[in-house]
A = this chain, B = another copy of it.
């Protein structure tokens, strides 16, 4: 009796991370491997909606990966992965982010591609393996693509994401624009959350040249719901930055309709953020026209700015 391999996405799981874990486990099982989809934490409302919509069981909660074999999807950095990953055997990685700090002793499959979602790469992997994509899986993959690319509107969107979305929408027979709007509505349900839930629900931690930086993002069609309670939000950000000893905690409140972001900031190292993003914070707030993607329009700039700062 051997242990299964877990496919797991990043902390604070989002729709692309959960759908990619489910889809890749499905593909690997079709190929005869004992692979189980897993998650690091609770689902957000959008992802819960997706899982219900396509009638799949939610992945198992994996508290600690120490001693396990794991496949990482939708991330490749220790600061974003499951607890215990340092003592797990990482056997594969499928991702679409910057190349992070994970090293292995053996050669493994690591497929990182600069496309809009991990689900886009998984669609390709089904094709590469000559496996038919089951309807349920097609629904999940479509959801991952539409969620991560803001219905193909984010600047991270590529032709391959468009082609995959069109094809998956055909398989499941839905209008992807209409279905995408349903997803956005779910994603925008921020009003019911506490400030702490809001700022941490889509949150990533980075190690920039030895400094810990937290970057949260709230994607919504109603930014005013967040910005109207700005004092409470900033107070929560201060608490989190202090608790976790962050150099800086940046929160992007992204307006999905106007396609821009308002940034809020906490922590001592505001200057490299201003330099990196070429902006000035007034009362800890800055407007970032055209910024929709944390990954593409914020992370590289901050990494460079923090690197230059310490050099």
The chain A residues found within 8 Å of chain B, CB to CB, are 93, 96-114, 128, 295-296, 299-300, 303-304
Contacts and interface: CB of A to CB of B under 8 A. Distances in A.
A296 B108 CA distance: 11
Nearest to A101: B103
A268 to B, nearest CB: 23
A234 to B, nearest CB: 28
Contacts of A304: 105
A98 to B, nearest CB: 5
A75 B142 CA distance: 34
Nearest to A128: B128
B105 A114 contact: no
Contacts of A295: 107
A299 B109 contact: no
Given A98-B103, A101-B101, A105-B299, 19 more contacts: A93-B99, A96-B107, A97-B107, A98-B107, A98-B108, A99-B103, A101-B103, A105-B303, A106-B114, A106-B296, A107-B295, A108-B114, A109-B112, A110-B110, A110-B111, A110-B112, A111-B111, A111-B112, A128-B128
A97 B296 CA distance: 28
Contacts of A109: 112-114
Contacts of A99: 93, 102-104, 108, 110
Nearest to A307: B105
| 8 residue pairs, one from A and one from B, having the closest CB atoms | A105-B300, A110-B112, A107-B114, A99-B104, A105-B303, A98-B104, A106-B300, A97-B107
A302 to B, nearest CB: 9
A296 B105 CA distance: 9
A109 B108 CA distance: 15
A200 B66 CA distance: 39
Nearest to A77: B103
- Residue among A99, A104, A299 with max Cβ neighbours from chain B (10 Å): A99
A296 to B, nearest CB: 7
A78 to B, nearest CB: 11
A128 B124 CA distance: 10
A114 B107 CA distance: 5
B110 A105 contact: no
A113 B109 CA distance: 4
23 contacts: A93-B99, A96-B107, A98-B103, A98-B104, A98-B106, A98-B108, A99-B110, A100-B103, A105-B299, A105-B304, A106-B114, A106-B296, A107-B112, A107-B114, A107-B296, A108-B114, A109-B112, A110-B110, A110-B111, A110-B112, A111-B112, A111-B113, A128-B128
A128 B303 CA distance: 33
A41 to B, nearest CB: 24
A114 B97 CA distance: 21
Contacts of A107: 96-98, 112-114, 295-296
